């Protein structure tokens, strides 16, 4: 505690006898010393409020309960290992030290560790990420791809030294030896395992030579399996264009890779059995097609045999068939001649009728009855109205036989008046 601490608690008498005036910095420094020396490192429980993460990487928030609030800071070097998301309303327990921030004259808790109250940090991180991915639709059934009818090449993402890959190889060798296996070795636990699993899944998609990807490992504790709960792994599986099988060896907890994968099985052996079952189902289906095809061919051959026997009984001698065809040819020839003659008669009758109609409508027929056609020369315009003419106009008149030219001497209108 500061040597000036007694001055802070001096009696009124002392104050009157020896007046001590502090600067703001001095009084703040004394308070800082008192608080920091009194409390040191403490555990504080409260509810997070006004949480803010700054670009610098530092966290600032307030801890509160029913009766008070406490300003809190958690710097980048302390919060980089926090697995869960700190957010308003979250009840937490913080470990740190009490300090006074002199520029604002405010005491605050500098947090070094933080844990969610009532649930482990790892479990909370899992639940938060699971809820986030669920809202984004990564678990939706509509996005899951069906496995191919028969995977002839399987890509396996796992540890090359683990029991998982040995189990898969043994089962496939016995039950589906026709399936090729490509192993992409990765770490399946530890700090960088999640990134390696995601990269391996991406590599198989770039390679484009496998029909299915099996992401697997043997059994283990929740901590051992944690790589399969990382967001980078979940998104790599979701974005895979190749169907995926998640086969993490556990019986109780479900990992995020299980929820995102197109098919989820509980063990690597079960993943291999899926492929074996696919092969057996395909063979059974082919056997069914083979039986149906054989039956269909037998039925067709039987029908053809019966038809051939029937036709054989109906066949005549070549000479009889020739005479029959000759008679049919004569009948067809006679009928054809009759049709041709009838068509010619009908066409002639129609031609005569059309000729008569054309002759009746012909201007020559009108002229033959004493009429004539006059046109104004030299244009040749047909004259329909006398008012179109004037004296001395040259007129060509066409008769039934021949034509002549004349000059207008006088124009006579309908009303009997003369136009000169």
Host domain of residue 404: 373-419
Q: Is residue 332 part of a domain?
A: no
Query: What is the end-to-end Cα distance of the chain in Å, rounded?
Result: 145
Provide the number of structural domains found in the chain.
Answer: 3
> CATH number of the domain that 210 lies in?
3.40.50.2300
User: Which residues lie below 8 Å from residue 214, measured CB to CB, with a gap of 6+?
Assistant: 154, 155, 156, 157, 158, 168, 244, 245, 247, 268, 271, 272
- Torsion sign (Cα): 193, 196, 202, 204: negative
Instruction: Give pLDDT tens digits along the chain (420 positions).
Output: 344 444 544 444 454 456 788 788 888 887 878 877 777 788 888 888 888 999 998 999 988 888 888 889 999 898 887 877 888 888 888 888 888 888 888 888 888 888 887 666 667 777 788 888 889 999 999 999 999 988 899 999 999 888 888 889 999 888 889 899 999 999 988 888 999 999 999 999 999 899 999 999 887 777 778 889 889 999 999 999 999 999 987 656 688 999 999 999 988 999 999 999 888 888 888 888 888 898 899 999 989 888 888 877 676 667 777 877 888 888 888 888 888 888 888 888 888 888 877 777 766 666 666 677 788 888 878 877 888 888 888 888 887 788 888 888 888 876 544 444
Question: DSSP class of residue 109?
Answer: E
88 and 193 share one domain: no
In a domain, 44, yes or no: yes
pTM above 0.85, yes or no: no
Supply the pLDDT for residue 1: 39
- Tell me whether residue 361 is in a domain: no
Q: Please check whether residue 309 lies inside any domain of the structure.
A: no
User: How many other C-beta atoms can be found within 10 angstroms of the C-beta atom of residue 3?
Assistant: 8
Per-residue confidence (pLDDT) for residue 400, from 0 to 100: 72
Question: Are residues 77 and 181 located together in one domain of the fold?
Answer: no
């Amino acid at each position: 505690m500061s040597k000036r601490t007694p001055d802070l608690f001096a009696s009124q008498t002392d104050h009157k006898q020896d007046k001590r005036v502090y600067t703001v910095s001095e009084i703040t420094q004394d308070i800082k010393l008192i608080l920091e020396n009194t409390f040191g490192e403490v555990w504080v429980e409260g509810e997070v409020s006004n949480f803010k993460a700054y670009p610098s990487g530092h966290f600032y928030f307030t801890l509160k309960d029913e009766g008070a609030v406490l300003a809190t800071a958690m710097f980048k070097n302390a919060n980089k290992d926090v697995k869960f998301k700190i957010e308003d309303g979250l009840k937490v327990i913080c470990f740190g030290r009490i300090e006074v921030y002199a520029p604002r004259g405010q005491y605050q808790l500098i947090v070094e560790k933080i844990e969610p109250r009532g649930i482990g940090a790892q479990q909370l991180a899992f639940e938060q990420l699971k809820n986030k991915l669920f809202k984004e639709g990564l678990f939706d059934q509509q996005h899951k791809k069906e496995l191919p009818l028969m995977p002839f090449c399987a890509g396996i993402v796992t540890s090359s030294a683990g029991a998982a890959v040995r189990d898969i190889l043994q089962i496939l060798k016995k039950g589906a030896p026709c399936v090729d296996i490509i192993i992409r070795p990765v770490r399946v636990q530890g700090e960088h395992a999640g990134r390696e699993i995601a990269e391996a899944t991406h590599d198989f998609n770039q390679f484009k030579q496998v029909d299915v990807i099996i992401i697997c490992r043997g059994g283990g504790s929740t901590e051992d399996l944690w790589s399969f709960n990382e967001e980078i792994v979940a998104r790599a599986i979701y974005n895979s264009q190749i169907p995926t099988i998640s086969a993490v060896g556990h019986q109780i907890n479900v990992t995020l890779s299980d929820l995102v994968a197109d098919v989820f099985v509980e063990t690597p052996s079960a993943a291999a059995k899926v492929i074996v079952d696919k092969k057996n189902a395909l063979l059974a289906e082919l056997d069914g097609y083979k039986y149906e095809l054989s039956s269909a061919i037998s039925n067709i051959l039987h029908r053809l045999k019966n038809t051939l026997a029937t036709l054989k009984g109906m066949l005549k001698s070549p000479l009889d068939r020739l005479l029959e065809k000759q008679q049919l040819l004569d009948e067809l020839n006679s009928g054809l001649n009759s049709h041709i003659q009838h068509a010619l008669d009908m066409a002639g009758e129609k031609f005569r009728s059309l000729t008569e109609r054309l002759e009746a409508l012909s201007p020559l027929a009108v002229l033959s009855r004493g009429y004539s056609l006059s046109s104004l020369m030299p244009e040749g315009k047909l004259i329909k109205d006398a008012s179109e003419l004037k004296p001395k106009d040259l007129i060509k008149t066409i008769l039934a036989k021949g034509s002549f030219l004349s000059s207008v001497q006088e124009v006579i209108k309908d009303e009997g008046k003369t136009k000169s």
